[in-house]
A and B are shown apart, each in its own frame.
Chain A
């Protein structure tokens, strides 16, 4: 493993730069791609290196421009589109679902759409009802699309590289709070396969498997570490890394040992990938379950803006640990560790990932 530390945003930028250097058909387009903020730094320097014929700003025409990118992809290009919020990509639902996802199938495999659509989900600084939704589950329902959501800088680089080389349309989901996360990232070229979950931390038999999507995987890891150090409870943590394909077999393998499943998804609870994962695990290894699977997601109401309204909207590591203790029959009022609650107590405001994060974005 490399010692070099990069942020998730820098890792994405490096993946784009290397892909563009290796393949002249890779182009990048999106609202704000060449601007000074450069999509949270993920596209900075690209226009200087590759020029205005490969790095484009875009009219505010999400559906039309997605179609334009599909047409370019059918004609030999490998476009990478960027939407600063997944909410904006809803305007392109027709092109993504009806054209990109279907083209290969409905034309009997004669053509394919090598298109990457980067979308940002998440929260913070009062983004509110239309700037912070986790709608990846809606896209994950569509055969023909891949919907991936790496949570580490290493995987961000490797999965973006893989997404760009993939012959299929890939929705690449980034949680806004992942962009500043820093971790070792190799400087060379590499790919991380799309659709394979990753076990971040091994757990004991007869414990709990926590399967987390995107940022929730890192929150799960934080909770798991505190449960280990405070209470000696070793839960297993799986970073799902992809919503479609959905790697339920890795989760089943884990549940067969731990006997319990807690799914975390930074999205509305009903009708999303958390329920799909629980359904698949329940179908495939029901007999291994010592208890009913549970999930921690966002409440089934729009995400409000005011910090006073959103204070309890987002479950964090503390709520995850508390849920694990309850699933193990050790709730706090029955002697569950309060040390772990103290260790995971939030410091600072709940609407920013850390003190260096400031508004308005």
Chain B
């Protein structure tokens, strides 16, 4: 979590230099869901994600330097510069792809689970999406098929209450999202997405059930988006969230909260935290250095790889 946080903070700090010329959606504050879920997965398990994908990508083991290079449009980026922040992939890590059409990857995860089921590979597929995505018809089509064939797939809904600046209560009636998934025939669970231990326990159970043939699982976690929908900044001055809501969201910080628990139980020491901070700072700094030193793609290469 700390690594994702510091990597994204570094991205935010450097975004103003205008060298990362692509839209960027930060998951700062929402790291616990990515980490808690991916911690339960094997490297051969398959993860799909959306426009806000940095955390999912890194938590699944995606290469940090290739991600940063992608944001800088470099030839060594994980998509060779063809995608930017909203298109991440690391097949070696089992990160199958993130794309920014809301709902676009949800059926793909079901398809990956379908292939795993048909071939009896024992793999589990996971897709991360938000509360806004739950309004897309394709999500319900996907849940229907996954339940019909009892496919090994985890639907992970990160509910941050907002679609850009539109609050959930202006988009959906007052009923729990996960209850709809339950009506589709999925086993559902929900909890506090700021608590990485909760996320991990619920995801581990869901993953075990999916892998053992119990069918698709739906997990809804409440989270808080710290920064603007798209971009590096805080946007609290726009006043679309009340002050008390903002302070409650920030105080629920999953990184600080988990660190406090571990320190309190003396699982880790302050010295450990300082060492990790220092190691992560070096890693992130080196990743930027390597990414920025990498060659840029040639304009004529834009004509290649249209067809396989």
A68→B107 contact, CB < 8 A: yes
B46 interface residue, CB < 8 Å from A?
yes
Choose, from A108-116, A119-127, A152-160, A302-310, the stretch at the interface. Answer: A108-116
B305→A68 contact, CB < 8 A: no
With an 8 Å Cβ cutoff, the count of chain B residues facing the other chain is 43
In residues 141-187 of chain B, which contact A (Cβ within 8 Å)?
A: 141-142, 144-145, 148
A65: B residues at CB distance < 8 A:
107, 141, 145
Taken together as a complex, chains A and B put the C-alpha atoms of A53 and B149 apart, in Å, by 11
Q: How far is the CB of B303 from chain A (nearest CB, A)?
A: 10
**Which one, A75, A107, A112, A144, contacts B87 given CB within 8 A?**
A107
**Which one, B110, B118, B140, contacts A67 given CB within 8 A?**
B110
With A94-B104, A105-B82, A168-B307: A110-B145 Cβ-Cβ less than 8 Å: no
**Which one, B82, B105, B138, contacts A106 given CB within 8 A?**
B82
Q: How far is the CB of B70 from chain A (nearest CB, A)?
A: 9
Choose, from B93-101, B199-207, B227-235, the stretch at the interface. Answer: B93-101
Chain A CB within 10 Å, residue with most, of B113, B138, B148: B138
Q: How far is the CB of A93 from chain B (nearest CB, A)?
A: 11
B306→A144 contact, CB < 8 A: yes
Q: How far is the CB of A116 from chain B (nearest CB, A)?
A: 14
- Please give me the residue from chain A that is nearest to B75 by CB atom: A108
Interface footprint category on A: 35 or more
- Please give me the residue from chain B that is nearest to A98 by CB atom: B101
A200 interface residue, CB < 8 Å from B?
no
B118→A71 contact, CB < 8 A: no
B48: A residues at CB distance < 8 A:
71
B101→A94 contact, CB < 8 A: yes
B141→A63 contact, CB < 8 A: yes
B2 interface residue, CB < 8 Å from A?
no
A61: B residues at CB distance < 8 A:
138, 141, 144-145
**Which one, A74, A107, A108, contacts B112 given CB within 8 A?**
A74
B141→A74 contact, CB < 8 A: no
Taken together as a complex, chains A and B put the C-alpha atoms of A109 and B89 apart, in Å, by 11
Taken together as a complex, chains A and B put the C-alpha atoms of A42 and B169 apart, in Å, by 49
A69: B residues at CB distance < 8 A:
111
A76→B115 contact, CB < 8 A: yes
Taken together as a complex, chains A and B put the C-alpha atoms of A98 and B101 apart, in Å, by 8
B119: A residues at CB distance < 8 A:
76
- Please give me the residue from chain B that is nearest to A77 by CB atom: B115
Taken together as a complex, chains A and B put the C-alpha atoms of A16 and B148 apart, in Å, by 25
A68→B114 contact, CB < 8 A: yes
- Please give me the residue from chain B that is nearest to A145 by CB atom: B307
B138→A110 contact, CB < 8 A: no
A7 interface residue, CB < 8 Å from B?
no
B91: A residues at CB distance < 8 A:
110-111
Taken together as a complex, chains A and B put the C-alpha atoms of A106 and B80 apart, in Å, by 9
A108: B residues at CB distance < 8 A:
78-80, 82, 305
A201 interface residue, CB < 8 Å from B?
no
B83: A residues at CB distance < 8 A:
106-107
A66: B residues at CB distance < 8 A:
107
A104→B145 contact, CB < 8 A: no
Q: How far is the CB of B15 from chain A (nearest CB, A)?
A: 22
Q: How far is the CB of A342 from chain B (nearest CB, A)?
A: 48
Q: How far is the CB of A29 from chain B (nearest CB, A)?
A: 10
Chain A residues near B (Cβ < 8 Å) = 27, 53, 59, 61, 63-77, 94-95, 98-99, 103-112, 143-144, 146, 167-168
> Closest 4 interchain pairs by CB?
A71-B111, A64-B141, A67-B107, A61-B141
Query: What are 9 contact pairs spanning A and B, CB under 8 A?
Result: A63-B138, A67-B142, A71-B114, A75-B115, A99-B104, A104-B307, A106-B79, A107-B97, A143-B306
